[in-house]
Amino acid sequence: MVLHGSWNRPEKSGYEVIALTFNEWGEVSYQSFFKGFELNNDVIGRPVDIAQGPDGRIYISDDYTGSIYRVVYSAG
């Protein structure tokens, strides 16, 4: 899930991608997956959407920089 980020607050919040996990009872937990779009209350990126390609890689779009980030898993 992408947290696009606040734009009208003195203290910035959001600006990250979180991973959602559902247990057998349907309860949801989350943890941070991809951060770094905001640093010391300065916005350096705004994540918009996340998609998974047919190769299993994850792509995250950023409308602040006009970038698309590719996330690749490495077991090493």
Condensed to tens digits (0 to 9), the pLDDT of residues 37-70 reads 998 888 999 999 999 999 888 999 999 999 999 9
Distance CA 27, CA 71 (A): 27
Confidence of residue 17 (pLDDT cuts 50, 70, 90): very high
Where are the chain's structural domains? 2-71
The tokens of 28 are what?
A: 């949801």
Edge-to-edge strands, sheet with 47-52: 47-52, 58-62, 67-71
As to burial, measured by CB atoms within 10 angstroms (0-12 exposed, 13-18 middle, 19+ buried), residue 2 is buried
Is the model's pTM score more than 0.85? no
